[in-house]
Copies of this chain bind each other. A is one copy, B any other.
Amino acid sequence: MYRIDKAVILRQKAEAKVSSEKIVQILEDDILGGTLRPGEKLDEQSLANRFSVSRTPVREAIRQLAANGLIEIRRNMGATVRQLTAGEVVDMFMVLAELEGLAARLCARRMTMAEIDEAKARNDDCLRAAETGDQVAFLEANNAFHDVLLRGTRSAYLATEAARLGRRLAAYRRVITHPRQMMSSHAEHQRIIAAISQGEEDVAQAAMRTHVDVIAGSAADIVLALEANAAPLSATR
């Protein structure tokens, strides 16, 4: 009688052995990048095999991701990638708009000329990407632009929180697909930079808030459409 070696069955890619800290990073990237789809189950043993470690560090990574709201743990029933409703996405964008708005205000107060030039450069990158219709390049340049502003706040806490929420919503920001939208984003960026360089806090804050709200609106439409369609992503297992 032959006993089947379970380890062989479960083993997949089996990345090189990796520390617990990296596991958090990798899983987070997988979730935010869409490799792990909403509703998907995270099996501790499979992940342990994949990373060539025991379940212990995997468990710790899972708990940490749960604390950050990316996954949901139900006692004795495992962890699943969290599925956001359209309403939640809208709520989160509202908060993001507020945080980024505050950031813009602080930038108007504290940014150096060098930093403002840096922001302009990143927005020029946005323009180039928009002109060639390169969505990936645009999103990258867009992220870089926002990062420059967050650094310009001189508030590590605000920068960290806003960046975290921004990353969390990154998937929903991919709604920007048409060159037209990229162009108008670029224009909004320019208005924000102008206000910052003039030190007009109120204007900078308002401009940033509406900029984020515009994106939120498109994102909400997409998510609502997805929800209306048959079974959501959770059925894709």
Contact = CB atoms under 8 A, between A and B. Distances in A.
Given A67-B68, A94-B102, A98-B99, A157 B60 contact: no
B95 A102 contact: yes
A156 interface: yes
A210 interface: no
Nearest to A157: B91
Interface residues of A, number: 24
Chain A residues touching B, majority SS:
helix
Contact of A60 (B63, B68, B75, B158): B63
Contacts of A21: 75
A101 to B, nearest CB: 8
A102 to B, nearest CB: 5
B91 A102 contact: no
Interface of A: 21, 56, 59-60, 63-64, 66-68, 75, 88, 91-92, 94-95, 98-99, 101-102, 155-158, 161
